[in-house]
Structure 1
Amino acid sequence: MRKYGAEIAIGIVPVLIAFLIFIGQNVVPILMLGVLGFVVVYAARGRGKLTAMSSQNRSAEAKSTPLTFDQIGGQERAKQELVEALDFLVHQEKIAKLGIRPLKGILLSGPPGTGKTLLAKAAAQYTDSIYLAASGSEFVEMYVGVGAGRVRDLFKEARTKANKAKKSSAVIFIDEIEVIGGKRDGGQQREYDQTLNQLLTEMDGIYANESPRILLIAATNRKEMLDSALLRPGRFDRHIGVDLPDKKGRLHILNIHAKNRPIDENVVLDRIAKESFGFSGAQLESVMNEAAIYAMRESSDKIGENHLSMAIDKVMMGEKTDREATKEERERIALHELGHAIMAEVVRPGSVSQVALSPRGQALGYVRHNPQQDQYLYTKPFLNGQIMIALGGAAAEEMFYGGRSTGSRGDFEQSMSIVKTLVESGLTDLGIIDASMITKEAYANINREILDELMLQTKATLETKREIFTQSLETLLREETLSGDEFRSLFKSNSAA
């Protein structure tokens, strides 16, 4: 009888409504109440929202293409820390003898695209565990208690699937953990609080001695937003930073993505790794993919170094656009970009990788800089040099046209951002000071003082290189793109003259 309950209800309800209308009853309140009850019950059950997926449901795919730590490049330190933590799941008897408490949670924090999700998938493969994944936003709902119920269902599903597959452990991965794990401020967001409280309860050790063991791996780009109760030992026992890869890491990632692609034998990936300073793993994969697309457009059988260079430009600045500038605009843009390039060559010789006059993304022209080596600490002279390079374009326009254009807006924003770094680092005349204590007027004064002084230095330096502008302008307008070596050849020949 229960089997046909839904069918019987579907048949009775219309008949009942028709009868009530026939006898003159107002059925609108009844219908509204029925719809509201259905919505509440449907939402409480969480249908269609929780998209946690088990690797068991995709067993054929997982077996054919397993993801291992060897397939993840550029994160050697993070992988080492993660493997050490996972060994507590793999060697349970050994850690029991030493009295080591199993880890309950691992927090992966770092910029987007650095491989946090890949590390979680590799962790499940390494421990031979059931793998479930969900996003923090999937637990958020307007109805109080729904998110908490979905957290319970997720952990229950992990245990059920692990038992069914006869696995001793399960790995749950929650991306964007800050959505449900944000700091509690005592406000009226009861839904968020109940969801976080339920997550804390699941991690708190109630099921610590039960089998299968559950390891929660979470990822966030904003660790500072997380509640302190979630970060304490006993919940997230390990905090692993997944940072942007250095040059060695970038080369490793490029080699991984180059394995199944026809790369020309003359391509030097070490140079590509050097030019892609600041790129994440996802961006480097995109570079390889875009380079293959460029090779296909040219009907080339192999991916050449020019394809990779164009791909770096596209990932960094966007695709080329069809904007057509007038002759006067092209000359102004060319002089603007030459101002950046010449100033860069003066401040840091050999750093210019390319000077281009073609519009790409929001830029009408651009200079691609090639850092000599990865750098993480900056001195005041270095940052002042960066500001002078950024101001080089506006200074060149003032030299030749007597005024600036709107094309300098982005350069000024970059310069002011560097000034902010100088202030917050105690590298200005203000000394060591809390930036939040500086008034807007004082900040504006120090900003104007630094930029005006550096602009004067920039114009004075470029005035001594005026001959290089005039000689390089014609070449850039004709070729539209100058490689770093071609630009340095023009720079040195005119400097010698």
Structure 2
Amino acid sequence: MKGLKNTNQTYFYLIIAIIGVMILNAFFFPLFEEPKITPVDYGTFLTQIENGKVKQVQIQDTEISYVAISEQGYESTYVTGRMDDPELVNRLHNAKVEFTRIIPKENSSFFNFILTWLFPLLVMFWLFQLFSQRMINKPGGMGNGPSYGKSNAKIYMKTDTGKSFADVAGQDEAKEALLEIVDFLHHPEKYQEVGAKVPKGVLLVGPPGTGKTLIAKAVAGESKVPFFSITGSEFVEMFVGMGAARVRDLFKQAQENAPCIVFIDEFDAIGKSRNASSLNGNDEREQTLNQLLAEMDGFDADKGIVILAATNRPEILDKALLRPGRFDRRIPIELPDLQGRGAILKVHGNKVKLALDVDLHAIAKATPGASGADLANIINEGALRAVRFGRKQVLQSDLEEAVELVIAGYQRKNAVIPMKDKLKIAYHEIGHALVAARQSETALVHKITIVPRTSGSLGYTMQVEQEEHVLMTKEQALEKITTLMGGRAAEELVFHSITSGASNDIEQATRIARAMVTRFGMSETFGMMALEAVNNPYLGEHSTLLVSAETASKIDEEVLQIIKSSYQKATQILQENMDILHQLANSLLEKETMTGEEFMTCLTEEKVTA
């Protein structure tokens, strides 16, 4: 970039210098080149001829210019008006003076105009055009603004993506659905013989970080065909018509390189429904979408052009895109289950040096709801921690700390917390753990800590499910709310006051209780009536109530009743275990961190020591 900047400055200064020379040539240089001319009367001219001072004479139509010896003794140029003097020629001849008659050339003023003004302007215009063209063609120059119809798609020729299905783990169903695309690109004759046509478009739908872009590159790597990659936002420009021009250029390149795969990431940027895109029915986004619809209708799938698109907002896509003949197939790329998380951890774990006793299955169990990107980050953070401590291998403790880092942030080792507040935090966390342990449908306690974290947490209780759950019963939901209420209940029982430490618990409990009433049909009042719709299941957007204000008030009352009932249950459990609560809280205050095994050992012992 520095070399490019210096080159551009050189061109700029060169053009300024040339323009300056032209201006000097047009205005100032002629003044220096013209000799000084002294006007005299005709009598003085004749006297100088008689005295032998005149050397050379030029006779024009209206004036006479001549060179004569001045009084100072050097030659000077003079000019005088021409008179009707028939004897002038004889005088000049007798005085042996060189003389000539100058006949004026026609159109000399026009030629001077061309030479002095028009030619410099043409040269300046040519230099400006040359400079502009160089700037546009230079990488990083002015040409890197709007590219005026170019698609800007990144092209990976054949196996240049460097990805295959071996790099994709935890998405077996998606890979199986895409294998048909790969097979068609390898053996199109099999499908043509039967008369089957491969889907023109495949829409990859799922939460962020689940590997939609990765699996698209893997399809190209397995197919060994050119791969065009572009994001939806690159089609949208401030100039009307540029997006449509880029769509045309992209499909033109695809047809020239067929068979190939075209991948459009963040597809919702151009595929948004035309009813919701804007109030103006003829905006840039709509023109781009219309051009995309036309191009998808215009090419033949038998040529081997497959359009892959990825989005995490499928609900806002235009219905015309999703009809058969355009995006025929919709493949969900969901969050991985326990087995999938283990496979993803293994893929990323192969890229770092893991200790022989590392249990990736335990890490997978501790990360429910994690995406592929989250798991890759956990492996990387574990490796960074190993380097930080001077180890050449990643230990189990490194990965466990990485899980906590992703969940709660870094430890605030230098944070100063008053002992009074620290004691309340210890009772709060033990309250969660004790209520969870005394219920049958809750996950096992894995770790309890009162070490503050950078996420704002002053402590937390981590629970790990022993088995993967795809459904949640009403009993499990109620027990989960009761566990969340355990921290606040412990504070009130022991200190007879409440703090702000339960804010996150209250938020989670309210969300679960509201979902039980409005979405899960776990309400005795409303039964299986749909009361709420989720706007986007992948981005965690807020839900929309589908009821009247009166019904919404009744929903709030039932949600409040569920939370109150759970709080009372948590309080009852802690009252029945007050001795154990005090002893565990004091132990946690001393150790600051307690493992799940240590916690369960204390519960099973007949006598608990502080």
| TM-score interval, smaller chain | 0.7 to 0.9
CA distance in 1, matches of 2:462, 2:143: 54
Q: 2:417 aligns with which of 316, 325, 348?
A: 325
Using the TM superposition, give the Cα deviation of residue 66 of structure 1 relative to its aligned residue in structure 2, in angstroms.
Answer: 2.2
3-state secondary structure, aligned to 1:101: coil
3-state secondary structure, aligned to 1:358: coil
CA distance in 2, matches of 1:51, 1:388: 54
CA distance in 2, matches of 1:278, 1:460: 31
- Counterpart of 2:188 in structure 1 is 92
Letter aligned with residue 206 of structure 2: G
The 8 Å contact of residues 465 and 495 in structure 1, kept in 2 or not, is answered as no
CA distance in 2, matches of 1:295, 1:209: 51
Using the TM superposition, give the Cα deviation of residue 197 of structure 1 relative to its aligned residue in structure 2, in angstroms.
Answer: 0.9
Using the TM superposition, give the Cα deviation of residue 250 of structure 1 relative to its aligned residue in structure 2, in angstroms.
Answer: 1.0
Cα distance change of structure 1 residues 245 and 117 upon mapping to structure 2, 3 Å threshold: same
CA distance in 2, matches of 1:260, 1:426: 46
Cα distance change of structure 1 residues 349 and 406 upon mapping to structure 2, 3 Å threshold: closer
Cα distance change of structure 1 residues 295 and 207 upon mapping to structure 2, 3 Å threshold: same
Q: Map 1:51-450 to 2 at 5 A.
A: 51-56=152-157, 66-160=162-256, 162=257, 168-185=258-275, 187-188=279-280, 190-204=283-297, 206-208=298-300, 211=303, 213-321=304-412, 322-347=414-439, 348=441, 351-360=444-453, 361-423=455-517, 424-429=519-524, 430-435=526-531, 436-439=546-549, 440-450=552-562
3-state secondary structure, aligned to 2:354: coil
The 8 Å contact of residues 176 and 220 in structure 1, kept in 2 or not, is answered as yes
The 8 Å contact of residues 147 and 194 in structure 1, kept in 2 or not, is answered as yes
Cα distance change of structure 1 residues 181 and 222 upon mapping to structure 2, 3 Å threshold: same
1:374-413 residue CA offsets vs partner (Å, 9 max, x unmatched): 1121111111111111111111111112232111111111
- Counterpart of 2:115 in structure 1 is none
User: What is the percent sequence identity of the aligned residues?
Assistant: 36
Cα distance change of structure 1 residues 332 and 45 upon mapping to structure 2, 3 Å threshold: closer
Using the TM superposition, give the Cα deviation of residue 350 of structure 1 relative to its aligned residue in structure 2, in angstroms.
Answer: 5.9
Letter aligned with residue 338 of structure 1: I
Pick the structure with more strand per residue.
Answer: 2
1:47-92 residue CA offsets vs partner (Å, 9 max, x unmatched): 6995421113xx8xx55x8211012111111111111233222221
Using the TM superposition, give the Cα deviation of residue 159 of structure 1 relative to its aligned residue in structure 2, in angstroms.
Answer: 3.2
Cα distance change of structure 1 residues 422 and 81 upon mapping to structure 2, 3 Å threshold: same
1:440-484 residue CA offsets vs partner (Å, 9 max, x unmatched): 422221121111111111111121121122111122112211111
The 8 Å contact of residues 387 and 415 in structure 1, kept in 2 or not, is answered as yes
Cα distance change of structure 1 residues 181 and 208 upon mapping to structure 2, 3 Å threshold: same
Using the TM superposition, give the Cα deviation of residue 494 of structure 1 relative to its aligned residue in structure 2, in angstroms.
Answer: 5.6
Letter aligned with residue 286 of structure 1: N
Cα distance change of structure 1 residues 209 and 55 upon mapping to structure 2, 3 Å threshold: closer
- Counterpart of 2:582 in structure 1 is 470
CA distance in 2, matches of 1:495, 1:236: 66
The 8 Å contact of residues 49 and 138 in structure 1, kept in 2 or not, is answered as no
Using the TM superposition, give the Cα deviation of residue 102 of structure 1 relative to its aligned residue in structure 2, in angstroms.
Answer: 2.4
Cα distance change of structure 1 residues 385 and 314 upon mapping to structure 2, 3 Å threshold: same
Letter aligned with residue 421 of structure 2: E
Alignment partner of 1:479 is 2:591? yes
Cα distance change of structure 1 residues 197 and 327 upon mapping to structure 2, 3 Å threshold: same
How well do the aligned residues superpose, as a CA RMSD in angstroms?
3.0
Using the TM superposition, give the Cα deviation of residue 432 of structure 1 relative to its aligned residue in structure 2, in angstroms.
Answer: 2.2
Rg larger in structure: 2
Scaled by the length of structure 1, the TM-score of the pair is 0.86
* Residue range with higher mean Cα deviation, 139-148 or 373-382: 139-148
1:98-117 residue CA offsets vs partner (Å, 9 max, x unmatched): 10122211111111111111
The 8 Å contact of residues 151 and 247 in structure 2, kept in 1 or not, is answered as no
- Counterpart of 1:24 in structure 2 is none
Cα distance change of structure 1 residues 42 and 265 upon mapping to structure 2, 3 Å threshold: closer
CA distance in 2, matches of 1:450, 1:146: 56
3-state secondary structure, aligned to 1:476: helix
1:283-326 residue CA offsets vs partner (Å, 9 max, x unmatched): 11111111111111111222111111100111122222343211
CA distance in 2, matches of 1:254, 1:312: 12
Cα distance change of structure 1 residues 493 and 51 upon mapping to structure 2, 3 Å threshold: farther
- Counterpart of 1:165 in structure 2 is none
Structure number with greater CO (CA < 8 Å, separation at least 6) is 1
CA distance in 2, matches of 1:468, 1:414: 26
1:142-172 residue CA offsets vs partner (Å, 9 max, x unmatched): 3322211122222223334x2xxxxx41111
3-state secondary structure, aligned to 2:327: coil
The 8 Å contact of residues 53 and 132 in structure 1, kept in 2 or not, is answered as yes
The 8 Å contact of residues 88 and 103 in structure 1, kept in 2 or not, is answered as no
Query: Which structure 1 residue ranges, 5 or more long, are not aligned?
Result: 1-5, 19-38, 163-167
Cα distance change of structure 1 residues 259 and 326 upon mapping to structure 2, 3 Å threshold: same
CA distance in 1, matches of 2:245, 2:594: 60
The 8 Å contact of residues 267 and 309 in structure 2, kept in 1 or not, is answered as yes
Query: Which structure 2 residue ranges, 5 or more long, are not aligned?
Result: 1-10, 24-135, 137-141, 532-545
3-state secondary structure, aligned to 2:181: helix
Kindly tell me the number of residue pairs found equivalent between the two proteins. Answer: 460
Letter aligned with residue 422 of structure 2: R
* Residue range with higher mean Cα deviation, 74-83 or 399-408: 399-408
